[in-house]
Every structure is written in structure tokens, then in C-alpha cells.
Amino acid sequence: MRCQTYWLLWSCLVAGSLAAWQVTTEGMAKAVQAADEWTYLPLPSTDPWYSPPEGWEATEPGTLLRLRQHAYNTTPLAIANAVDTFQVLFRSTDSHQNATWGVTTVFMPAHQPCSNGTGAADTKNCTLRILSYQLPYDTSCLDASPSFGLQWGEPYGEMAAALKRGWWVAVPDYEGPLASYGANIIAGYITLDSIRAVLEASRRLEPPLSFTDTRVALWGYSNGASATEAAVEFAATYAPGLKNKIVGAAIGGVAPMAAMNAAQILAQTQVSGLLVQGIIGITSQYPKQREYVLSRLFPSGPYNATEFFWASYMSGWQSLLYYSYVNVFEYFIGGRADLETPEMVDMFAREGVLGGFGVPNMPVFLYQAVQDEMAPIQDSDNLVDWLCSQGARILYHRNHWGGHNDELTNGRQRALDYLGDVLDGSNVLSFPPTGCQTVNVTFMQDPSKPIV
């Protein structure tokens, strides 16, 4: 059984996020029309391209190991404003500092600001602007990774908006080759190595491009925010060479204490599936804890190990539907206490507590709904206080309107405007010249107004 990867791929939107559905449905309609005409990539778990070449472990993190130009064979691409794609496979680092690898898909815009009119960039005098866009794919199923699913469209329309601004959009499969959903350490490393590899690839494309300069910004919401936050915290120590390349990050709906709070916040809710996916995802990096979890799940009965691990064949969205309102502790012989042993708590704390990996060395725009039911605002307030006390530069918007899924929509235009400020040098969001600023806003995005 394989996870169904498109159609219900995208998650972390519970009821109420209709815009995303419309986009998905549109992309899907195109995909159905196209299905007979074009060749789609094989599933990541069966695609031989998803394996690093011999000797890869000895290379430096961020080393470009494989480059697949024109990766998606559809015309037009299911994502608006993109003219071509390429994929990179690169060396990265797992949660234990061991070698691993990652894959990123890059979408090139139909029109770059310095286009010479043919759609091709006049690269002689052009700054390459790259958005590293971390999608919340929320699954422990490798085959539901964005590098595969984006062939059928994007969930939120955000990529199309970024491409329209002339940016390359690089989407890393930041959960890595084991789909380690919830493991923030590997997610942060892969996100940074992805940027290094994409920059290297930009110099190796055929026909060659030669940009005079490059600027990179990051963006992520929900679990994509966790990956982004981990990346910006690790940046100074893990990827110092990116210091003057990464010009900013937009981070929304981040859950800095996710793994510690998860059991309490998520069990027996509409989003219980996230907890199941998280336990499977994080333990994919921790063999000892995985073995322990397996030993504590009921082997048979109404809530059993087999059913629990069905999540690893589901996309994030499918698992939200399947485990909705399930009491996840029922799968465990000792109930909730089985997740609270010292080894499990250590693992959750190590992976799931943000703020402890380092201090961002680039400006950060952080936005959060005060009523966020999945990521309590107090945790974000504390994260901001802590990072600012360590010298970070943060503009922090606390939105008094709406909850977690609302802020995905409500924060979108502000995030894009901020990214434009750092990538293009516009000045729409007024960022404090030094230090940090917290602003309470009451902002609801007019759903009839397209994002730009």
C-alpha cells in the first residue's frame, strides 16, 4: 500500500481553509486533463534518481550530488507563472550529525525582472532572487513529499504569487529521505543545505546562466515554519557561508514547543493525525525510541500497531481525516504514560523545542494568531523574547483575528510583502532598523482580493 500523494496531499488546514481547496482542485483538474499526455515522475520510493552516488557521505554538507533539469514534463506546469523546473539532490546532515541527503525542486519564473523579453533572464546584469519555501506536508510517508506532489499543483497559491514576482521558488523535501515529520534538527539542516545546493546548481545549468548576485529568503507556515525557524537558528554555525546571501525569513504559525505540547494539544482532536505522524516521523531518526514505541503499541485489538502505522502510508491530509478525533493514547498499552518516559521526553525536547539551536543572523518576520489553537501564542512570545534578548532582529505581528488556519490565509500577503522588501528592496512592511518590534494587529485578509 502506498500513500496517495496528490489530491489530498496537503494538510495542516483543517476546516475553513477553502482557498487552498480551490487551488488544489484547479491543479487537479489540470492534472486530470493532462494525465494522458504527460509522463509523471515515478514515486520517490521507487525512483532511482532518489539515491546519492557512491562516495557521497564523504562530501561536505550542501554538496550538489545530482541535478535533474526540466524535472517536470508537463506544459504548462501545474503551478502558475513557472516556466521550468529542476531538481537537486544534495548531501546533508541528519538529527545525529550523520550524513544524509535531501531533494529540492526549483521552479523558475516565466518572467524575471531582468528578462530580455524572451522569457529568458538577461543574466548579465541580474540578481538571482530565490525563495526557499517550506511547505507543511505533515506526513511520515516519503511518497507524499513535495518533490513528487507538486507535479499536480500547489496547495495555497503562494508559489504562483512568488513566481509572479520573478523569484525562483525552491521547495525542499525538508523531512528528508525517511520523511521525519516533526524532527526539526534534520529539517533545519536540509533547508540550509538545499540553499547551498540550489546556488551551486544555478551555476551549473545548461545553457549556463550567470547572475551577478544572489539573494535568498525563506518562508514557512506551521510545520514549514518549524523547519524555517530551525534553519535560521542553525544558519550562523552550520552554514556561515550563507551569511550575506540569506536576507530574511518569514515565519508564521510556528509552534516552538510543538513536540512537548503535542500530546496534550493534539490527542483526540480534529488533528490527532498530526500526533500519530509526529511519533512515527520523529522516531524515524531515533531507532531505539522507534523500537520502544513498537513494543508499547497493542499488537491486536481495536487500536493496534498495524493501524497506527497506516499513517506512514498516508499523506498528511489523509491522516487528518483518518485519525480525526481518535484518542491516540488508546494505541498504547500504558496509555499516555508510554510517551512520557525519559527517553521519549528527551527525544521530543531535543527535536521539538525551538530557540535553542542558535540565534538567527538575518532579519525575521514572525506572524502568529493570538488565538492559535495548535501553537499557543505564549510560546511564540517567549521565543521572540528569548531570541531578541540574544540580539536577533525580529518584527513580530500578533494577529488578534482568527486561529491557526486563519492566519495561514491572513498572514499571506504580509509575508509576501516582507519577502519583497528583503528580496527586491521594496519597503512595504516597516521593519525596525535595529532590534525587535512587536505589533498587535487585527487583520483579516479579504478572501476575494487576490494575493500579489
**How far does CA 222 lie from the centroid of its chain?**
8
Interacting span for ligand NAG (CB under 6 A) from 117-125, 264-272, 276-284, 356-364: 117-125
Q: Which one, 14 or 375, has the nearer CB to ligand NAG?
A: 375
Assess whether 70 carries a catalytic annotation: no
Of residues 138, 143, 193, 372, which has the active-site annotation? Answer: 372
Beta strands 82-93 and 99-109 are: antiparallel
Interface positions, 86-115, toward ligand NAG (CB under 6 A)? 96, 98
Residue with Cβ nearer ligand NAG (49 or 298): 298
For ligand NAG, the closer CB: 117 or 240 = 117
| Contact status: 300 vs ligand NAG (CB under 6 A) | yes
User: Would you give the DSSP letter of residue 328?
Assistant: G
Total binding residues toward ligand NAG, as defined by CB under 6 A: 19
Min CB(328)–ligand NAG separation in Å: 14
Binding-site member from 42, 301, 432, 447 for ligand NAG (CB under 6 A): 301
Using CB under 6 A, which of the segments 51-59, 120-128, 274-282, 344-352 binds ligand NAG?
Answer: 120-128
Per CB under 6 A, contacts with ligand NAG among 395-424 are 398
206 binds ligand NAG per the rule CB under 6 A? no
378 contributes a contact to ligand NAG by CB under 6 A: no
Q: Does position 426 bind ligand NAG by CB under 6 A?
A: no
The correct pick among 118, 264, 434, 448 for binding ligand NAG (CB under 6 A) is 118
Return the number of other C-beta atoms located less than 10 Å from residue 359's C-beta.
Answer: 18
Member of 22, 25, 69, 125 binding ligand NAG (CB under 6 A): 125
Q: Is 222 a catalytic site residue?
A: yes
Q: Nearest to ligand NAG by Cβ — which residue? A: 300
Could you write out the three-class secondary structure of the chain? CCCCCCCCCCCCCCCCCHHHHHHHHHHHHHHHHHCCCCECCCCCCCCCCCCCCCCHHHCCCCCEEEEEECCCECCCCCCCCEEEEEEEEEEEECCCCCEEEEEEEEEEECCCCCECCCCCECHHHCEEEEEEEECCCCCCCHHHCHHHHHHHCCCCCHHHHHHHCCCEEEEECCCCCCCCCCCHHHHHHHHHHHHHHHHHHHCCCCCCCCCCEEEEEEEEECHHHHHHHHHHHHHHHHCHHHCCCEEEEEEECCCCCHHHHHHHHHCCCCCHHHHHHHHHHHHCCCHHHHHHHHHHECCCCCCCHHHHHHHHHCCHHHHHHHCCCCCHHHHECCHHHHHHCHHHHHHHHHHHCCCCCCCCCCCEEEEEECCCCCCCHHHHHHHHHHHHHCCCCEEEEEECCCCHHHHHHHCHHHHHHHHHHHHHCCCCCCCCCCCCEEEEECCCCCCCCCCC
DSSP structural state of residue 415: H
φ and ψ of 298, to 5 deg: -60, 130
Position 430 contacts ligand NAG (CB under 6 A): no
Gap between the Cα atoms of 286 and 28, Å rounded: 36
Catalytic residue among 17, 95, 180, 222: 222
Q: Does 324 bind ligand NAG (CB under 6 A)?
A: no
Of 40 and 309, CB closest to ligand NAG: 309
Name the minimum Å distance from CB 438 to ligand NAG: 5
Q: Least distance in Å: CB of 196 to ligand NAG?
A: 22
- Applying CB under 6 A, the span of 16-24, 239-247, 258-266, 294-302 interacting with ligand NAG comes to 294-302
Least gap, CB of 304 to ligand NAG (angstroms): 4
Judged by CB under 6 A, which stretch of 133-141, 191-199, 301-309, 328-336 contacts ligand NAG? 301-309
Judged by beta carbon, residue 218 or residue 320, the one nearer ligand NAG is 320
At its nearest, how many Å lie between ligand NAG and the CB of residue 128? 13
Active site (annotated) includes residue 404: yes
Residues of the shown chain interacting with ligand NAG in the complex, contacts defined by CB under 6 A? 96, 98, 116-118, 120, 122, 125, 287, 300-302, 304, 306-307, 370, 398, 438, 440
Task: Give me the active site residues, please.
Answer: 222, 372, 404
